[in-house]
Structure 1
Amino acid sequence: MADHAVPTLPSRDLDATAAFYKKLGFVEQYRDAGWLIMSRGDLTLEFFPHPDLDPSTSDHQANLRVDDLDALHAAFAESGVPLATIGIPRLTPIETQQWGARAAFLIDLDGTMLRLIEN
Structure 2
Amino acid sequence: MADHATPNLPSRDLKATSRFYAGLGFVEGWRDDGWMILTRGAMTLEFFPHPDLDPSTSWFSCCLRLDDIDAFHAACVDAGVPEACSGAPRVHAPRTEDWGGRVGALVDPDGTLLRFIQNES
Structure 2: gaps spanning 5 or more residues: none
How many residue pairs are counted as aligned between the two chains?
119
Structure 1: gaps spanning 5 or more residues: none
| Structure 2 counterpart of 1:57 | 57
TM-score by length of 2: 0.95
| Structure 2 counterpart of 1:85 | 85
Query: Aligned letter for 2:66?
Result: V
CA root-mean-square deviation: 0.8
Partner secondary structure for residue 93 of structure 2: coil
Give the Cα separation in 2 of the matches to 1:108 and 1:33: 20
| Structure 1 counterpart of 2:27 | 27
TM-score by length of 1: 0.96
% identical aligned pairs:
61
Partner secondary structure for residue 95 of structure 1: strand
8 Å Cα contact 1:88/1:107 also seen in 2? yes
Deviates more, 1:94-103 or 1:53-62: 94-103
